[in-house]
Amino acid sequence: MLDLTVPATARTFSGALVMPNLKTPITTIDAALRYKEQIEAKSGQESFTPYMTLFFKSTYTRDFLAEAKRHVLAVKLYPEGVTTGSGGGVKSPLDRDCMTVYAAMEELGIPLCVHGETPAGFVLEREVLFAPVYDELARAFPKLKIVMEHITTKKLAVFLDRHENVFATVTLHHLLITLDDVIGDALSPHNFCKPVAKTPADREALRELALAGHPKLMFGSDSAPHTRDAKESCCGAAGIFHAPIALQMLAGFFEKGGRIDKMQGFVSDNAARIYGIEPREKSVVLEKKGGLKGGLIVPESYGNVVPFRSGEALEWSVKEIR
């Protein structure tokens, strides 16, 4: 998949936070460095930086984390069984062993990214059911930067302001789709992802947050490719791929919301400030070509991966990358 995803991402992005939930999760510095090398080899772009993450384990020691900090940008926490590749995740994110690790991360200044869903509970409520964990972590570790990844609900959008040390990402697709796009007509496996898209009111709350240019909100693409077969044959894998067209679609979203001025912060500046990183500069010039008239169409597939909104008109295109 790297042959597809890395060039597609590196073309229009200067860096990416690389998730660690591979089939064999990234839990060692060696594995992170090897994965980083693979990505760099595929990127063919000097100006692309893969920011690596580790898959949270409650067994990480302070010494290990101190060393890891030199090579990875964050540690990502997955409750067991909530999404693709989360089989080795934690059972109880607030147990003593986990708390010890968070304390070390806080001291060392390593951000904690979180797939915030409970493994059990009604599917539309799993994110909200997880919120008490965020609350507890934010209180217990006030200096730990906590990133609620890919939030999908109004409740979490509101929660973003409760603690100074809590941040959030939102995906492209959760700005655009609701559950209607997944099960409203026929089943739409290509709109199926975790957390699942929620209600129109939830989407509206995410949209408002993005269009307001909320300084604690970052674009987290969660662009996740699966083969056409894995998506379309029983039983559809969760994940949506849109790396090659994410910026173009985001431009359309912010333009329609009348706040194209907020796109730069959402896509880039907020994350650089929150993570304290300075990716090498890359300028992407987007232009509006006018949808179907402009003749731009999202490809039916990239290799054997069907992208988000394949076959649909694309109003914005990349004019120039410097």
Residues that bind a second copy (CB under 8 A): 122-124, 178-180, 182-190, 192, 196, 199-200, 231-238
**Shortest CB 93 distance to a second copy, Å:** 20
**Shortest CB 280 distance to a second copy, Å:** 39
**Shortest CB 202 distance to a second copy, Å:** 10
Q: Please tell me the distance from the alpha carbon of residue 5 to that of residue 189, in angstroms, as a whole number.
A: 20
Q: Please tell me the distance from the alpha carbon of residue 42 to that of residue 168, in angstroms, as a whole number.
A: 29
Give the nearer residue to a second copy in terms of CB position, either 238 or 272: 238
Query: How many Å is the Cα radius of gyration of the chain?
Result: 19
The gap from C-alpha 135 to its chain's centroid, in whole angstroms, comes to 21
Give the nearer residue to a second copy in terms of CB position, either 107 or 181: 181
**Shortest CB 179 distance to a second copy, Å:** 6
**How does strand 217-219 pair with strand 166-170?**
parallel
Q: Please tell me the distance from the alpha carbon of residue 48 to that of residue 36, in angstroms, as a whole number.
A: 11
Describe the crossing of helices 96-108 and 126-140 by its angle, rounded to 10 degrees: 60
Give the nearer residue to a second copy in terms of CB position, either 37 or 208: 208
* Residues in Cβ contact with 226 at an 8 Å cutoff, skipping those fewer than 6 apart: 237, 239, 241, 305
Q: Please tell me the distance from the alpha carbon of residue 266 to that of residue 171, in angstroms, as a whole number.
A: 11
**Shortest CB 119 distance to a second copy, Å:** 10
Describe the crossing of helices 246-256 and 200-211 by its angle, rounded to 10 degrees: 90
Instruction: Give 249-284 as a DSSP string.
Output: HHHHHHHHTT-GGGHHIIIIIHHHHHHT--PPP--E
Give the nearer residue to a second copy in terms of CB position, either 140 or 187: 187
Q: How far apart are the first and last CA of the chain?
A: 26
Give the nearer residue to a second copy in terms of CB position, either 12 or 310: 310
Work out the widest C-alpha separation in the chain, in whole angstroms: 59
Catalytic residues, which ones?
222
**Shortest CB 82 distance to a second copy, Å:** 10
Give the nearer residue to a second copy in terms of CB position, either 9 or 310: 310
The 10 Å Cβ neighbour count of residue 147 is 26
* Residues in Cβ contact with 268 at an 8 Å cutoff, skipping those fewer than 6 apart: 14, 219
